[in-house]
Each structure stands twice: as structure tokens, then as C-alpha cells.
RNA sequence: UGGGGUGUAGCUCAAUGGCAGAGCGCCGCACUGUUAAUGCGGUGGUUGUAGGUUCGACUCCUACCGCCCCAGCCA
């Protein structure tokens, strides 16, 4: 007997095949029954007629429960009444793995805490399957975008000495070396690699021990960080807008069924094309003050301010050249206004907020040393990073795109935690 | 770490100081085309924990715990 995956059943119409999967719905009308199963590639409705199957098959059917793993055999036929357009007239049914009656996920609304406690099962539901497929599509698109443009992927270490951003670090014992810290960014290694390979990107998990409890934060998240030798801040933004547009267009082209499953308004995504508006920080402050915000020049922009700015646009926007006090030590001083640095945030539309932080990097050894000392960072920990400015320093720029935030925006999710298979948050380490 | 909210059946929620309930799930019966099937019947509780006020507490008070939302930090 031929076995098939549900997604391939159209090519088996009229044939008898075996499909294996998990029971999602059971419906019975006495002598006609429906068993709906899921195999990860799709959903199949099978039809069981009591008088047309062996008594033992009907008996096995009558004991089925939600999520029982089964094998069904029968003829595939087109039927408009079936989800997916094809159904199976069931001849045989065998149980592969039983499922007790207390399976926690029901076909109804559940609270988020309950769902996260049952994430290992929640993942089986249609919306979650669609989100994970879109995430995987985006990950593939990321690889394709950079590969097609001649970038080298460089995998940077996850265990590091204390180096990176200012916010919280996770630490662990590391042999005779004292503590190691989980990487908050691959950027500094990316800069070293850019001098070796010209155009690189990193793509991996990053860790922040921030005590954040918002819809936009995870303690473990995946970040894409390109770094390009000889790019300036404007080149950097051009790369960002091409990149983000590429990801959105790819999902629109290849995952329309999944976008429909998550009920995304795709007309909002169809607008996402380069160029994105660039708003100077100083102009943004003036605009915000005119709109009634209390923000003062020198303040970082709060979530409310960002929402006010992005509300006027139908695509992501760049906020460029923030005051240096608001940003990291490695960002290059703006020659036209030394109070500021050559950087940008990219804010997604529809209130999804910051998805990218990027900058041209400070390439002057004296200036970066000065900033490092202003920030009271441990100079010794940065010795190799500073040496990049000593031996053949070079202008370069890069950015970091948060994968889960990007997925949340593209699928229209209210929460980042359904955009990664097993989210890690301040109070959640399992499953 | 601040501000706000919340915690009652397996799940989602009612019960505003006076007998702890509903829907869903689950179990049983009926039903030959269901789409979260339907109809009838049944099952289900240490009201987060500890203390206090009261004749009487799911309800009011105190502390603790969990969770949610917002802010900050950032991606």
C-alpha cells in the first residue's frame, strides 16, 4: 500500500493510499462518522460508513480520542465539503499511539499562560503551525538574500567573555577562566569578520537577562546581524530597506495559505517596498513636540513617541542620528553634528515597534577609546575589538534585525512568544 | 525594577457580605454528510496560599505567591 503525506493527496486522487497522523476532530452521525487528522503537512477528513467497513474497524474508531496517532487507508477523492478539497473514504484504520482523555488543548479559546505551559502541544494547532512555517520561510529568505548578494555567513560564539551591550548578561562557570557569558550580540565578532571577508552576516541566538515582561521581549531571541566593510550609514539603511522588503515579499509570494490561516491583512504588507522614509532624530523631536509630546532633545524616544511617529506612514520608517548619550559606545560620531551618532532604528508599521537597530561603527581608535571610558566599560575586555581600529581601521556599518519581532509583525501576532517554538522569558524556562 | 489588573470545575468565565453556577471538555444514549456537528441525560470545587474582620467571606482587610497588561531596557 502506498503511503502519502496529506499535502500530496491531490496527486493520489482516485487511488487507495495510507496516511498517518494525529486525530484532531471526531464527528459521528450514528452510522456515518468523520475522523479528521493532521500530519504536519495538512489536514485530512476521512469518512467512515459503518455498513461499509469491517466491524473491528468501526470498533477501533469508536475508541479514538483527540490526538490519537493513527494510520488510515482508503480511496482519495475530491469533495467540496472536505477541508482542503480532498477527503478519504476510509477502509482501514489502525492505532499507532493512543492518547488518554485528558489531552489539554481543546478546539476553543485558551488563556496565554495555559497555552505556554502546554507549548509542546499548542504547537500542533493550525495557527501555530502557520506561524512556524512563515518563520521558517523568513529564515530561508534571510539566507537567500545574503547568499545572492555575496555575503559570507559567519557563526559567532555564544559563550563569550563579558563583552557586548550594557544590559543584563547570563553567566555560567567556565573551567579555569572564571565566568563565561551568553552572547548578547555577535556584532563585535562580525566587525572582525568584515575585515576578513568584506561582507558578512551572523544569524544565531542571543541572550539578554533583562527583566522585561512585555509583548516585545524574550530573554533568548534570534538575531541577524550583517556587517559590511566600506558601507556608510546611508548604505546601511539601503541594505536594511532592501532586506526587510525582500522578506515581506517572499512571505507574500510563498506563504499565502499561512497568512490566511493567521488572518493577516495582506494589503498592509503589500505596501512594504523600499525606500523607507528617513526621519532625523532632531526633526522627530520637533514633530513630537508639535504633537504634544513632552520629549526633549537628548532624550531617547519612548514607545509612545515611536508610535506617534510611525502612525503617519504605511511602511517601516528610519529614525536616524540619535544623541550619542542615548546610544552604544561603538557608534560613529556624526561629523555634521558631533552631539549625535550615525545610527538608525527601523520601526515597523501598525505599532509593531523597533525591529532593527543599526549604525556606522566608530573607526577612530582615539574616539572609541574616549567613548568606552565615558561609559566606564572594562577596557581590557575589548582589547581585541579595539585592535581592529589599530591595524588597518576601515569604515564599516551594520545592523541587527530581531527575528521574532519581524515574524510577529509579518504574521500580525499580538505577542512575540508565539513566534518562536519554545519561548524563553523571565519566568518561563519550560517546556 | 516601577504602575495597573487578575487568580473560582480539566478549559473559558459568572456569582458586588447570605444555598458556589454556566458554557465547553469528558462519560452515556440517539442520529447516514459532519465542518469547534446536533439533541437529551450525566460527571465535575480545599474559590492561589496563610492569617484577620464578621452571626456569616468567592466577595472586605493584611502579607505572600502566580499570571496578564503598560512603562523602562532593547531586537
CA of A116 to C1' of B48 (A): 19
Nucleotides on chain B that have an atom closer than 7 A to a protein CB are: 1-2, 10-13, 23-27, 30-38, 66-75
- Residue-number span of the structural domain to which A74 is assigned: 2-97
Q: Which grid coordinates belong to A220? A: 533568548
- A133 and A92, same domain (yes or no): no
- A389 and A319, same domain (yes or no): yes
pLDDT value of residue A165: 53
pLDDT value of residue A6: 94
pLDDT tens for A45-60 read 999 998 889 989 998 9
Q: Which of A50, A67, A97 is the last residue of a domain?
A: A97
- A297 and A208, same domain (yes or no): yes
Nearest nucleotide (CA of A50 to C1'): B32
- Residue A283 Cα distances to A206, A289, A319, A404, angstroms: 33, 10, 9, 30
CA of A377 to C1' of B22 (A): 60
In a domain, A423, yes or no: no
Sign of CA dihedral A25, A28, A29, A33: positive
In the 8-state DSSP scheme, what is residue A53? S
Nearest nucleotide (CA of A103 to C1'): B10
In a domain, A377, yes or no: yes
CA of A374 to C1' of B4 (A): 37
- Which residue has the least CA–C1' distance to nucleotide B25? A106
A299 Cβ within 7 A of any nucleic strand B atom: no
Q: Residues 92-131, chain A: which have Cβ under 7 A from strand B?
A: 101-102, 104, 106-114, 116
In a domain, A55, yes or no: yes
User: Is cis: bond before A349, omega within 30 of 0?
Assistant: no
- A232 and A327, same domain (yes or no): yes
In a domain, A104, yes or no: no
pLDDT value of residue A374: 87
- A346 and A230, same domain (yes or no): yes
Cα distance between residue A189 and residue A178, in whole Å: 21
For Cα atoms A422, A426, A430, give the angle at the middle one, nearest 5 degrees. 35
- A131 and A86, same domain (yes or no): no
Cα distance between residue A71 and residue A311, in whole Å: 51
In a domain, A427, yes or no: no
A82 Cβ within 7 A of any nucleic strand B atom: yes
pLDDT value of residue A426: 83
- A305 and A217, same domain (yes or no): yes
Q: Residues 2-31, chain A: which have Cβ under 7 A from strand B?
A: 25-31
Report the candidate in A322, A8, A257, A295 with the shortest Cα–Cα distance to residue A127.
A257
pLDDT tens for A279-321 read 999 999 999 988 888 888 988 898 889 999 998 899 999 999 9
Q: Which of A43, A66, A97 is the last residue of a domain?
A: A97
- A51 and A180, same domain (yes or no): no
Phi–psi pair at A304, nearest 5 degrees = -65, -40
CATH assignment of the domain containing A347:
3.30.930.10
Q: Which grid coordinates belong to A236? A: 546601511
CATH assignment of the domain containing A17:
2.40.50.140
Q: Which grid coordinates belong to A217? A: 521581549
Phi–psi pair at A319, nearest 5 degrees = -105, 120
Q: Residues 308-337, chain A: which have Cβ under 7 A from strand B?
A: 326, 328
DSSP codes of every residue in A17-30: EEEEEEEEEEEE-S
pLDDT value of residue A166: 56
In a domain, A174, yes or no: yes
pLDDT 10s per residue in chain A (431 long)?
A: 799 999 999 999 999 999 999 999 998 888 899 999 999 999 999 999 988 899 899 989 988 999 999 999 999 999 888 888 899 999 999 999 999 888 888 877 888 888 998 999 999 999 999 999 999 999 999 999 999 999 999 999 999 887 655 558 888 888 988 888 899 999 999 999 999 999 999 999 999 988 888 888 999 999 999 999 999 999 999 999 999 999 999 999 999 999 999 999 999 999 999 899 999 999 999 999 888 888 889 888 988 899 999 988 999 999 999 999 889 999 999 999 999 999 999 999 988 999 999 999 999 999 999 999 888 888 888 999 999 999 999 999 999 999 999 999 999 998 899 999 999 988 888 78
Cα distance between residue A8 and residue A19, in whole Å: 10
- A90 and A133, same domain (yes or no): no
- A132 and A65, same domain (yes or no): no
A416 Cβ within 7 A of any nucleic strand B atom: yes
Report the candidate in A243, A278, A272 with the shortest Cα–Cα distance to residue A352.
A272
Q: Which of A44, A66, A97 is the last residue of a domain?
A: A97
Cα distance between residue A158 and residue A143, in whole Å: 20
pLDDT value of residue A164: 57
- A274 and A364, same domain (yes or no): yes
Question: What residues form DSSP beta bridges with A220?
Answer: A207
Nearest nucleotide (CA of A114 to C1'): B11
CA of A214 to C1' of B53 (A): 38
In a domain, A35, yes or no: yes
Alpha helix ranges (H) inside A27-111:
55-62
In a domain, A111, yes or no: no
Sign of CA dihedral A167, A172, A178, A182: negative
Number of domains in chain A: 2
Cα distance between residue A343 and residue A230, in whole Å: 15
A65 Cβ within 7 A of any nucleic strand B atom: yes
- A230 and A164, same domain (yes or no): yes
Amino acid at each position: 500500500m502506498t503511503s502519502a503525506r496529506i499535502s500530496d493527496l491531490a496527486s493520489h486522487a482516485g487511488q487507495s493510499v495510507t496516511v498517518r497522523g494525529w486525530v484532531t476532530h471526531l464527528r459521528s452521525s450514528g452510522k456515518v462518522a468523520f475522523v479528521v487528522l493532521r500530519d504536519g503537512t495538512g489536514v485530512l477528513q476521512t469518512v467512515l460508513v459503518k455498513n461499509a467497513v469491517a466491524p473491528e474497524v468501526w470498533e477501533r474508531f469508536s475508541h479514538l480520542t483527540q490526538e490519537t496517532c493513527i494510520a488510515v487507508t482508503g480511496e482519495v477523492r475530491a469533495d467540496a465539503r472536505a477541508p482542503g478539497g480532498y477527503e478519504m473514504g476510509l477502509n482501514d484504520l489502525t492505532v499507532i499511539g493512543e492518547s488518554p482523555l485528558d489531552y489539554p488543548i481543546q478546539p476553543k479559546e485558551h488563556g496565554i499562560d495555559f497555552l505556554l505551559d502546554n507549548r509542546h502541544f499548542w504547537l500542533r494547532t493550525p495557527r501555530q503551525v502557520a506561524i512556524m512555517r512563515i518563520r521558517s520561510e523568513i529564515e530561508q529568505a534571510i539566507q537567500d538574500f545574503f547568499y545572492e548578494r555575496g555575503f559570507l555567513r559567519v557563526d559567532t560564539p555564544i559563550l563569550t567573555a563579558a563583552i557586548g551591550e550594557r544590559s543584563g548578561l547570563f553567566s555560567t562557570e567556565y573551567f579555569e577562566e572564571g565566568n563565561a557569558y551568553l552572547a548578547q550580540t555577535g556584532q563585535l565578532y562580525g566587525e572582525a569578520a568584515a575585515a576578513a571577508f568584506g561582507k558578512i552576516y551572523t544569524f544565531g541566538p542571543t541572550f539578554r537577562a533583562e527583566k522585561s515582561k512585555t509583548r516585545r521581549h524574550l530573554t533568548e531571541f534570534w538575531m541577524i546581524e550583517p556587517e559590511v566593510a566600506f558601507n556608510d550609514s546611508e548604505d546601511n539603511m539601503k541594505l536594511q530597506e532592501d532586506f526587510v522588503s525582500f522578506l515581506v515579499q517572499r512571505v507574500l509570494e510563498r506563504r499565502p495559505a499561512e497568512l490566511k490561516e493567521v488572518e493577516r491583512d495582506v494589503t498592509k504588507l503589500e505596501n512594504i517596498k523600499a525606500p523607507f522614509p528617513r526621519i532625523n532624530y532632531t526633526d522627530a523631536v520637533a514633530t513630537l513636540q508639535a504633537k504634544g509630546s513632552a520629549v526633549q532633545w537628548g532624550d531617547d524616544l519612548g514607545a509612545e513617541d515611536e508610535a506617534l511617529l510611525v502612525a503617519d506612514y504605511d511602511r517601516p520608517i528610519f529614525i536616524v542620528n540619535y544623541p550619542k548619550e542615548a546610544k552604544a559606545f561603538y557608534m560613529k560620531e556624526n561629523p555634521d553634528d558631533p552631539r549625535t551618532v550615525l545610527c538608525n532604528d527601523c520601526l515597523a508599521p501598525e505599532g509593531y515597534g523597533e525591529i532593527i537597530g543599526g549604525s556606522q561603527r566608530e573607526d577612530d581608535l582615539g574616539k572609541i577609546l574616549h567613548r568606552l571610558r565615558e561609559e566606564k566599560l572594562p577596557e581590557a575586555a575589548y582589547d581585541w575589538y579595539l585592535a581592529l581600529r589599530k591595524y588597518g581601521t576601515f569604515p564599516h556599518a551594520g545592523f541587527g534585525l530581531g527575528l521574532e519581532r519581524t515574524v510577529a509583525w509579518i504574521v500580525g501576532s499580538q505577542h512575540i512568544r508565539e513566534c518562536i517554538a519554545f519561548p524563553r522569558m523571565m519566568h518561563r524556562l519550560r517546556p
